[in-house]
Structure 1
Amino acid sequence: MLFTREPHITDKLTCILELRFTPSTFQQVAKPLLALLASTTLVHSPHASDVRALLRLVWSCPLFFKRTMDCLNDPQLLSDVKHDSAPHFAALLLLLVKKLPSVVPLDDMCYDLLGRFRDWGHQNLPTTSGVVAMLNEAMELCEEFVPSRAPHDKAIGPRHDNDKPNVDDIQVLPTDDEMRCAEEPYLPLHPDSPSDAGAHVSFHFRAMREDALAQMRRGLQWWLHPSTDRFVPPPRHSDKPRLNVAVQVSLRQVHGSIHKGVLFQVRGPQPWPHETKANLTALWERDRRYAVGSLVCIATEVTMSPEPDAEPGGDAFPRRAPLACHSLVFGTVAVRDTSLLVDPDGFCISIKLIRPTEAPRIMRAMSHGLNVLLEVQNSFFTGYEPILRSLQAHDVAPRLRECLYGTDPAATWTQRPAYLTRTHLQLQCLVHPDHHHDVNLRQVPAASKDGLAAQLRAVMDKLVLDASQIDAFAAAMTQQMCLIQGPPGTGKSYVGTRIVDGILAQTGVTVGPILVVCYTNHALDQFLEGLLDDHIVRPLDIVRVGSRSKSARLDECTLFHLRKMEHFAGPTRLESATHGKLVRTCRDIEERTFSSFHQDTALAKFLQWLAQSKTESFEGICGPVDDEDGFHVQGGHKAQEKLFKKWEQGGKGWSSTMWKMNKPGRQALLRRWRHEFVETCSRRALHDFDVYQECVTKAAEIQTAQNLRLLGRAKIVGMTTTGCALNQELVRCLAPKVVLCEEAGEVLEAHLLSCLTAATEHVIQIGDHKQLRPLVSEFKLSIDANNGFNLDVSMFERLVQT
C-alpha cells in the first residue's frame, strides 16, 4: 500500500531498475530485486491493485530486462548466481504476463524475450529447475492473447459478439447479441484425461456457462418472439422455462455501495396487487424471485401485442432469433430489501451491471417505451458466476497439473507432497489413548505408501484406525494426490480427520492453514465438529468462512464472529485512513453524480438541461426564461413542470409553434431530447462511475487483507465449494498447500478446480462416485444423455476411472 502513497518509494525503485548493472554488480543489485519481485509475499498479496501498479512500473523499464538477460548470457557471471536468479526472472516474467494481460502479452518485446530466455534455459539449466516450464506457460498465454500467434479458422466467423476462441475473453454475463443467437453455442466434448489442462478448463467453463444460461436463452427467445401470446403461459411439460415477468419497469435511481459498487434501482408492478402490506411481507419473504445474485434481463421497448407467424419460404435456419424488443440488458440482483418490496403500488430491487461503463446504455434504453424485467424461476446464477470467473483465472502448479491431466497421472500421484520432504513421520497421534505408553510412532519410516501401511498394520490393534483406514491414511500421507472411496458408514470422514491430525503433527513442517472444502454446509459442519470431538484442534484453530452454519459449537469459529472480537487485530492505521478516504470519495460521487439520476428529481434536471441547450424550444413550451439565473421560468419550478407535462400529454396552450404540434410529433421530439439528455449526463458520469468502482475494488482489497490476517492464524479453514468460489481472492492470497475435499463425488470438477491455486501441493478427495452424482440443470449435458459432455462426472469419478 505504501508504494502508491509514497512517491519517494516509486522514485527509488525506478532508480534501481534503471541502474546500469554489470555481471560484477548483478549479485548486489539485480539478484535481490528479482527475488523480491518474484516472492510469494508479493504474488499472494491481497493488495492486487498496488501489485499491478508496481508491475506496471517494472515493465516500463525495458533496459532492466535487457541487462538482466545480457548478464545471464555473460560467461563472467558465476554459474551459482545464474541458477539462483533464473527461476526468479522466469517467475517475474510469468507474473507480468498474468497480472497485466492487456499490456505485456501484446508486446513483441515480451514474446521475443521469453523465446530467447527459454532457449538459454534449455542450454544452461537442468530440467528440474522449472524455468523452462514457466517460460512455456508464459509463451502459451502470449499466443492466446495475440490472434496472430494463435491462428484459428475464421471461414464462418463467430456466432455472436461473445463467441470467442479463448474462454478468458468471454464475458461471463450474457450479451444482447448472444441471447438473440439462434445457433447452438460451441460446446466441446468432455476431453479425455490425458489431455492439455487448458482443454479441461475450457470445457468446464463453456459447459457450466451453458448450464447456467440455456434456460434464460430459451425463455427470452420464446417470451419475446413476435408471435408469442405473452398472456398465455406455456404448457407445463414443454421445454419452455418458467419465468418471473414484471411489465412496465422503470429506472428509479442510480445509487452505490462501497461493498457492491454502482447499482441501478428499478421499480416494477406488484405481483400481488390486491394484498395488504402484512400479507405482502409474508409473500415476499417466502417467495424466491429476484434473490440476491440472480441473473435478470431488462428488455426495453417491448411490443406486447403478438404478430402473425412469418410466411413460409423464409430462412429455415436463421442465425438470429426475432425478438419483439429494442435491446436486452443483463445484470445480477445486488439488493433485495423487503421494505422496498412490499409497497402495494410496486416493488424495487437494485441490479448490478457487469461493467459500470454500460450505464449509458441502460439509462438510454429505459428512458422511454415499455420495459420488461425477466428472470428464470429457481435458477441461481450466484452459484455459477464465481466459479466461471475463477476458471478464467485458473492457475495450478505444474506438478499438480500433471496429476490431474497428465498422460500417466498414477505415476505422479505417488510423488510425495512437496512440503513433506522427510522420510520419517511423527504419528504418535494415531495411537489409542490406552496404549499411548506402549507404542512409539514418533519416527515411522514413510518412504512409500506400502511401507508406511506395513509399519502401521504391525501395531494395528493399538491404533485408532482399522486396516482399510490405515491404507487410506498411508496413501494420503505419502501421495500428493489421494482419492479415498467407500460406501456410507465405512468411516471415510473419520479417516479424513485423522489425516488432518497426521499432517498437523509433523513438527518443523511449514504447511500453513489446511483448506477443508465440502459441497454442503451440513457436511462441513460435521467435519469441523469431528476435529473438535477428537481434540485434534481447538476452536481458536478453526475459521469457518460463510454464514450458513447450523452448528452452535462453531459459532465462535466463524469469520464474522472473529472479526468482532476485541483480541483479534482490526485494520491497521494505514488501512483505516485509506478506507475512510475511499468512503468519502464515494459519498461525494453519490451526492454530485448519482443524485441527478433519481426519479424524483429527473424532470427538474431534464428541464434545466433543456432550458440551457434548447432554449428556443423550451421558451416555446414554458414561456420566457428568467434572465437572472438562466433557466428558471417565471412562476417557479412547479409551474414549469406542470406546463411541460401538459404539453407532453398533448394539451392545448398558447399559439407558439411548439404547442401547435400534434401529440405523436411531441412524443417523437421528446424521445430525441431525452436521448440527448441521457447521453450528456452519462458522459459526465462515466468518469465518476470508474472512480467509484476503483474505490470499491480497493475497499475489497483492504477487507481481504484483514480477513487474511485472521485466516493466517488458523490451522484449519473451512468453506463450502460455493463459498470458496465467492471468496476467490481470499483463497488465492491464503495460498493453501493442502486442500481436503469431502463429498468429492458430488462436486462438479469446475467447483473443485476453483479451490486449487498455484500454491496447492497436496489434494485429498474423499467421497463415493457410486452414490449421488453432481447436479446439472441441462439434461443434454449429463452423462445419462449420452452426448459426450458428461458435465456431471466429478473429478473424483474421472480420476478413479483413469
Structure 2
Amino acid sequence: MKAALYPARRKRLEKLLNDILHGKQKLSAQNNPHFIEAICAQPDAAACISNIISSPAGLASLQESMRFDLSTKFFNGSATNVLAYLQAPNLSDIGGGSLLNQVILKIVDPPIFWAQFILAFRTGQLQDGAQRCFAWLLFHLISTSSELSNPYLDVARDSTIVDQILVSPNPYISALGQKITHFLELRTASTTTTFHGDLAPGGRHDNDFDDFRAIAILPTADEISCTRAPFLRSSAELEDPETIDTRLSIYLDGLFRLLREDMMYEMKEELLAHSKKKGRRGLTIDGLTLLSIHCGPDGKRCKWGITLECAKDLSLFVDGELVAFPVINRDEDLLAKNPPILVLQLEGDVSTSNVLVGLKKAKSVKLIQINTAVFAFEPVLKALQEMRGMPLAPELLYWTPDEILRNPTSSPTHIINALTSDPRCDLRPLLGTPKSIILDASQAASLLSALSQKVSLIQGPPGTGKSFIGALLAKALVDYTDQTILVVCYTNHALDQFLEDLVAIGISETSMVRLGKANAKTEAMSLFNQSVQSRRSRADWTEIDALKARAEGLCSNLRVVFEQYRTSLSNSALLDYLEFEDSSFHDAFLVPSDEDMTTVGRGGRAIEKDYLLHQWGQGRDAGVFKQHTSVLEAADIWTLPTATRKSKIEGWKKAITAEQVEQFVTIAREYNETQTALARKFAANTIAVLQSKRIIGCTTTAAAKYTDSIQAASPGVLLVEEAGEILESHVLTALGEATDQLILIGDHQQLRPKVNNYSLTVEKGDGYELNSYLNSILDHVVFVLLESCSRDRTAAERKISPGYLAEAST
C-alpha cells in the first residue's frame, strides 16, 4: 500500500497542494516531488485538474514542476506519474477536451520539458511506463485542433521515433503507434499518386492547395475568375491497389473537393446570371461606404465583421471586381438605422486580405446577394477538414469479400441467439413491444446482420419494412446494450416520422432528444424542451472569464489596427517603414540635426522630421539642406525623376498597407477562434442533455453543425435512415471517434442524392459519382435485401400487429 494513502500523509499532501495552488507557499525543487505526489493522489482527476486551472498559481506551478528536474529518473518517475494521471478517461470528455488541452499545452509549451522528453525517448532512456506516456502525449498533441498540432507533426513524422513506438512489445504502445500512423495519413497533404500538368492539385489560383484542409470553404475572387478546371478525384482511385497506403487521405480529399465543387457550381451560376442580367438574380445594393468593424455590443461579443453604410434608405464587388463572398450578420438595430448599416462577416485570410486591400482604394462598393444554401454545405465541408480519424475504416475502405466482418463491441446477444435459433420467433416477449412481431426470412436476416456486424446495409423497395427494422434495431440496442444511438436522416420529415416509430414501438420519449426544428408530435423531444442543466465548475468559469478577457483585448487591438489601416499614411509612417525595409532611402531623408541650433524654413518655422521626404515626394530638391553632406552622398536618390519618386512612394504605401492588413487578419483570426472557444464552453448544457439520452436524432446538416456536442456524448451506434438520399460525405462526417457500429437503411432504386452540378453525377459518366448511393461503402459491405411488401400497413401500431410481416412476394 502506498504511503500516500495513509490519512496523515494524505492530509499533509493536500495542504501542500492547496498552499501552492493559492500562492501561500512557493514551489521549489525541494517540495516539487511532494507537489506532484499530491496531485496524483487526488481521487477525482477532473476535480483536481479543474482546481489547478481555477487556482491563481495552478497552471504556472504545474508547468514549473515539470521543469525543475530533466533527468532520466524524473522522466521515469514523477513525470510518468503526472502524464498517467492525465490519461483519466473523464478528462478528455470535459468541454470537448479543452480542460485537458490547457494543462498539456502548459507542460509542453515552451518545449523545455518536451524537448528533453523526446531526447530521452529517442536515446532509449525511458522505461515502459514512460514510453507509454510519451506515445500517448505525442498522439494527443498531433490529434488536437489542427493549428495547435502543427508544431508536433514533425516529431510524429520522424521515423526513428514512430518506428520505436510501432515495434514496442507493449500492445498499448504499439497500438498508439498505429493511431499516430493512421492520423498522419489523414493529414497527408499530397499522396503517392503521380499527376501531370493541369491534373495535379494546387497552383491554379490563391485557394488551390495540395492539402484540402488548407482550402477556404468560401471561394476567393481569384478562384471564381480562374478558367482552369478544378482538381477532382475520380472514384476509381480508391480501387487502385497502388493507392492502398494513402487510400484514406485520398478518400477524404476526394469527398471534400467534389462536395465543394457542387457548392461552387451553384455560386458561379448565380454570378453568371447577374453578369448577363438574365434569369433569377439576387438583390443588389450599390453605393456602399466602409465605416468600421463590428464585434457586437459590450458583454455580448460575436465574430467580427466590417460595417458598410448604404447610400440610400451578397458577393462583394469593389470597383466592379468581385473580391469576396461575405456573410451578412443580421444586426437589426444597425439595419434599422437611416441610412441602414450592413455587417459583413468575412471568412478566410485570403478573402479578408482581398477585401481590405480592395476597400482601401475603392471608388465604388456594391453588394450582390447570392442565394446559394451555403449553410447546407459549410458544416459538412468543415467537418471533413477537421476529421482526426475515420472510425470503421477497415470495413468501409479496406474490407474484401474473403474477410469476416467484425462484430460490434456491444451487441444484444439474447436477441441474436433467439433469431439464430428461430427466425420466425415472436419478438414481443424479447423486446416488450405492445403487440406480437414475427419477421419473414429476409427481415430476420437483416435484423441479425445489423445486430451482429460493425457495418450493415439494409435495402429494399418501398413497403418492405425498412424503417420498421430500423425501429426494432433501436429498441434492441436500447434494451440490451448501453450504447448511445445517433439517428441521422436527410429530411426533417423523415426524422420526425422515424422518431414517432420509435415511440410507437416502446422507446420512451424521455430517452430521446431531437436536434433542430420538431413537429407537433416530436416537440417534447426537442433539445430546447429538455430540462437538464450543466453546473459549471470553478475551472469552467475561470476559463470563460479568461476567454472573455482575451476577446475584449483582441477586439480593442482589432479596432486600433483597423483605424490605422483606414487612416491615410503619413510621411512619418513612411519613414518608420524605410528605417527597417530600405535604410539607404531612410538615411537620405533624415533631417540633419544640430544639438545647439534649430533649422528653420520659410516663415521661420522649425523644420519637421519629414521635411526631406516631403521635398523629395513633391519632385523638389532638398531645399535648405541641398548642400548638406548627407544629401550630396545620396545624389542617386535625389536625382531620380518625379515619376519614379511617385512610383516608389506608391510602392511603399502598398507595402505598409499589406503589413497592416496582415496584422489585422492575424488578430481577426485569433479573435474569431476565441469566440468559437467561448461558444464551445457555453455549449455545456447542450452536451449535458445529449449525454443524458440514449437516442440523439438529427438531420445530416445538424449532425455536422453540432459535431462537437454530439461527439461529447460518445454515440457508439450511427443509424442512418433514408440512406439512399444522403451523400456519402454526410454519412462520413456523422461518424465519431466512439462510433463502433454503422447501420444504413435505404432504397438503392429510388432517386439518388440531389446534386447541383450534372458533370459530377453518375449519369454523366465522368467517374466522379458524387451522387452515387454510398459508392465506397457499397463496394465494401455485405448487405441484406428485404423482399416482402406490406405497403398498406403504414402506421407504427399496424406495423407491430400479429403477422404484420408475414412473408409475401413483391
Check whether TM > 0.5. yes
Match of 2:439 in 1: 466
Cα drift, residue 244 of structure 1: 4.5
In the alignment of these two chains, the number of paired residues is 645
The correspondence for 1:552, drawn from 505, 520, 525, is: 520
Cα drift, residue 532 of structure 1: 2.3
C-alpha contact (below 8 Å) 2:357/2:661 kept by paired residues:
no
TM-score for both structures, normalised by structure 1: 0.69
Distance, in Å, in 2 between the alignment partners of 1:390 and 1:217 is 24
Match of 2:345 in 1: 351
Match of 1:642 in 2: none
Question: Which has the larger displacement, 573-582 or 785-794?
Answer: 573-582
Match of 1:561 in 2: 529
Distance, in Å, in 2 between the alignment partners of 1:678 and 1:73 is 52
| Local SS of the residue matching 1:178 | helix
Distance, in Å, in 2 between the alignment partners of 1:409 and 1:41 is 39
1:759 aligns with 2:738: yes
> Kindly tell me: are residues 394 and 454 of structure 1, through their superposed partners in 2, closer, same or farther at Cα, counting changes over 3 Å?
farther
TM-score for both structures, normalised by structure 2: 0.68
C-alpha contact (below 8 Å) 2:287/2:311 kept by paired residues:
yes
Match of 1:736 in 2: 715
Cα drift, residue 775 of structure 1: 0.7
Distance, in Å, in 2 between the alignment partners of 1:69 and 1:175 is 44
> Kindly tell me: are residues 691 and 484 of structure 1, through their superposed partners in 2, closer, same or farther at Cα, counting changes over 3 Å?
closer
> Kindly tell me: are residues 586 and 377 of structure 1, through their superposed partners in 2, closer, same or farther at Cα, counting changes over 3 Å?
closer
| Local SS of the residue matching 1:408 | coil
C-alpha contact (below 8 Å) 1:483/1:796 kept by paired residues:
no
Distance, in Å, in 2 between the alignment partners of 1:342 and 1:8 is 48
Cα drift, residue 233 of structure 1: 1.6
Which amino acid in structure 2 is aligned with residue 529 of structure 1?
Answer: E
Distance, in Å, in 2 between the alignment partners of 1:202 and 1:127 is 30
Question: Which has the larger displacement, 384-393 or 54-63?
Answer: 54-63
Question: After superposition, where does 1:59-458 map in structure 2 within 5 Å?
Answer: 59=108, 60=111, 61-67=114-120, 86=132, 90-99=135-144, 100-107=148-155, 110-118=158-166, 120-121=167-168, 124=169, 130-140=175-185, 144=188, 158-191=203-236, 194=239, 196-217=247-268, 233-234=277-278, 236=279, 242-257=281-296, 260-268=302-310, 296=315, 298-302=316-320, 325=321, 328-337=322-331, 348-355=342-349, 361-373=354-366, 375=368, 377-396=370-389, 400-408=392-400, 411-413=403-405, 415-420=406-411, 424-425=413-414, 427=415, 445=417, 450=420, 453=423
Which amino acid in structure 2 is aligned with residue 333 of structure 1?
Answer: V
Distance, in Å, in 2 between the alignment partners of 1:672 and 1:69 is 50
Which amino acid in structure 2 is aligned with residue 335 of structure 1?
Answer: N
> Kindly tell me: are residues 170 and 41 of structure 1, through their superposed partners in 2, closer, same or farther at Cα, counting changes over 3 Å?
farther
**Cα shift readout 1:652-688 (whole Å, capped 9, x = no counterpart):** xxxxxxxxxxxxxxx9999999979977976886675
Cα-Cα RMSD: 4.6
Cα drift, residue 171 of structure 1: 2.4
Cα drift, residue 487 of structure 1: 2.0
Distance, in Å, in 1 between the alignment partners of 2:249 and 2:157 is 25
C-alpha contact (below 8 Å) 1:783/1:792 kept by paired residues:
yes
| Local SS of the residue matching 2:95 | coil
**Cα shift readout 1:114-161 (whole Å, capped 9, x = no counterpart):** 12322x23xx3679973453243245357x35x8x9796687772223
Structure 2's unaligned 5+ residue stretches are 1-49, 576-602, 607-645, 782-810
C-alpha contact (below 8 Å) 2:323/2:351 kept by paired residues:
no
Cα drift, residue 192 of structure 1: 6.1
Match of 1:785 in 2: 764
Distance, in Å, in 1 between the alignment partners of 2:572 and 2:653 is 14
Distance, in Å, in 1 between the alignment partners of 2:479 and 2:96 is 33
C-alpha contact (below 8 Å) 1:589/1:688 kept by paired residues:
yes
Match of 2:477 in 1: 503
Cα drift, residue 216 of structure 1: 3.2
Question: Which has the larger displacement, 515-524 or 489-498?
Answer: 489-498
C-alpha contact (below 8 Å) 2:514/2:697 kept by paired residues:
yes
Question: Which has the larger displacement, 479-488 or 52-61?
Answer: 52-61
1:720 aligns with 2:704: no
Cα drift, residue 380 of structure 1: 0.9
Question: Which has the larger displacement, 94-103 or 706-715?
Answer: 94-103
Match of 1:525 in 2: 496
> Kindly tell me: are residues 206 and 524 of structure 1, through their superposed partners in 2, closer, same or farther at Cα, counting changes over 3 Å?
same
1:575 aligns with 2:522: no
Match of 2:25 in 1: none
C-alpha contact (below 8 Å) 2:318/2:365 kept by paired residues:
yes
Which amino acid in structure 1 is aligned with residue 520 of structure 2?
Answer: A
Distance, in Å, in 1 between the alignment partners of 2:420 and 2:224 is 55
Distance, in Å, in 2 between the alignment partners of 1:589 and 1:480 is 47
Which amino acid in structure 1 is aligned with residue 460 of structure 2?
Answer: G
Structure 1's unaligned 5+ residue stretches are 224-229, 274-289, 291-295, 303-324, 428-443, 616-623, 628-666
C-alpha contact (below 8 Å) 1:738/1:762 kept by paired residues:
yes
| Local SS of the residue matching 1:104 | helix
Match of 2:460 in 1: 486
Q: Percent identity?
A: 23
Match of 1:437 in 2: none
C-alpha contact (below 8 Å) 2:59/2:106 kept by paired residues:
no
C-alpha contact (below 8 Å) 1:91/1:134 kept by paired residues:
no
**Cα shift readout 1:366-414 (whole Å, capped 9, x = no counterpart):** 134344545575311111111111111224456x10111114168353x
Distance, in Å, in 2 between the alignment partners of 1:795 and 1:259 is 41
